[in-house]
Structure 1
Amino acid sequence: MKRGGIARLATACVAMAGLAAGVTAYVITRPDGNSDTDKKAKEVADRIGYPVGENANSYARSALEGNTDQKYFAIVEITDSPTTDAAKARASLVFRIYDPGTSESSPTFRLWEKDPVTACYRADFNYYGVMDDGPERVRCPEDARPITPPPVQRTGVPENYLEAFKTILAELPPTPTADEVDGALRAKLPPVPVDETTGLPWIKPGLHAVVRDGDIGVVAKGGGDCLAGVRLANGTVAAWHPRRVHVQPGELGCSGESALSLYKSPPK
């Protein structure tokens, strides 16, 4: 072989050796995982991507639904990234998946051996769901421990608010201002209950009051529920839960004005 041919052959061999080394390095350094952990990670990320979570903790709570054993599935990082851009990441999770392989199966029924593996995945979520076609395999954070996101506070209007509305409205002075009505509600409504499941108090309902020509309209709203109350100039006092179809967005809404409208001219 001519000297030039030998040189080209040597160069090609060096290049191939470098390529092989690069492939080997990629295989060696790629984060742990297998096809089963990849599938599990994608299923979880796709499931929790929509509807849109309020924050990263809400995505984490959704991910843990049905995954109660932290040995096999755990959240190890929760990151909020507040943004108004629907295309940008608003929350990120790193979760850990343990695949026991055949280590937990009976030796009698093993047809092949499969090593156990612990894999970690990062999933970013924007308004449209999980980003980049699913979670990315990453190295597990050192000394990572399972994180349990805080429970959600219950929302709604407590049942005892209805009778309290009637009592408070009846005790108001003859011609109160809207601020005086609002102050009376905040001072005299009973405290919100404590959720027995989470041990957390309910989120206080939002209040709104209006005074119009001697008529008073008040509401308490929370968690999609609306409680309305009125005291008319003639002394009539009433409190009730309007139908949701009447107070939903785009309809009358849940406000002091709507309470008066619904009582005086109820939709048919």
Structure 2
Amino acid sequence: MTARPPRAPRRTVTGGAPAVRFLASALAAGVLLTTSACSDDDSGGQGSDVSASPVVDGTRVPSPLTTTSPTPSGGPRLTVAGARAALITEADIEDDWTKVADAASWRDKLLVDKVDVADFLTAKADAAHCQRLLDSLYDQDLLGKPSGASALTGFEEADSRLLYQVASYGQKALDDSLDWLKSLPTQCDQFTAVDSAGDKRTVQVTENPVPKEGDARQGLQVVVQGTADDVPTTLTLDVAVVRVGTDAITVTAGGPHGGANDSVERAVQQGTPRLKDVLAGRTPAADPSEVD
């Protein structure tokens, strides 16, 4: 995927933001900045060992994949076992993606610094939105911290990475996050990020299409252009978020040689039905070819 030529930067975020420093190290190391939530990496638990709700003496036993919600809606509530069962597999995204065991560690442990928004002049609100985007990519919580169960898994293909997460947040929190993501291509279309060493990165944010899955969805492409060892470098991340009730799927993929939107779209198309199966108390098929 060929990176777009940079437009003239019009905004600057300064102060050594951790996301910016992480992006700089990611560019230098040729690795991918990813998103996730605070949960352990999936360790092979794709749900194949979790059975759907059995019937005993004519009574259906509650599925281990969900519990009854204490809210007035009384809808199904995702469990940790259910979140793991809803994760995609290598077969779901095809190509040459290989599952890894350390996806939860795909982030830098740098400290959080303050951001100087003076250069945004009258658009200080935009500065806060742009900083939140960078910080949430760094912190691996694009949708905020999950309020319930969560699970994640990751895949590598050459120097690209794909991270896939399933988590519970609550519908209002998800709707607010989706509204925020939808605003970013306008509020943060292009800006300059500066770390404490004075290194600059041009960041561009555009909207990406997402397959019409789930109850609501939003896609972004984040392109970071700068230099690594005095060599021009571009890091491209394709992001997709899909809400299913009070739960959500988050996919982030790409690398220094371009995004991976085709794989992101396939992950959404295969992963959303898996989550719906789990919420219905069914065990998702181990291989997408088994689905009618």
With the shorter chain as reference, the TM-score category is under 0.3
TM-score (normalizing by structure 1): 0.26
Identify, as 1 or 2, the structure richer in helix: 1
TM-score (normalizing by structure 2): 0.24
User: Which protein, 1 or 2, shows the higher relative CO under an 8 Å CA cutoff with sep ≥ 6?
Assistant: 2
Which protein is bigger by CA-based radius of gyration? 1
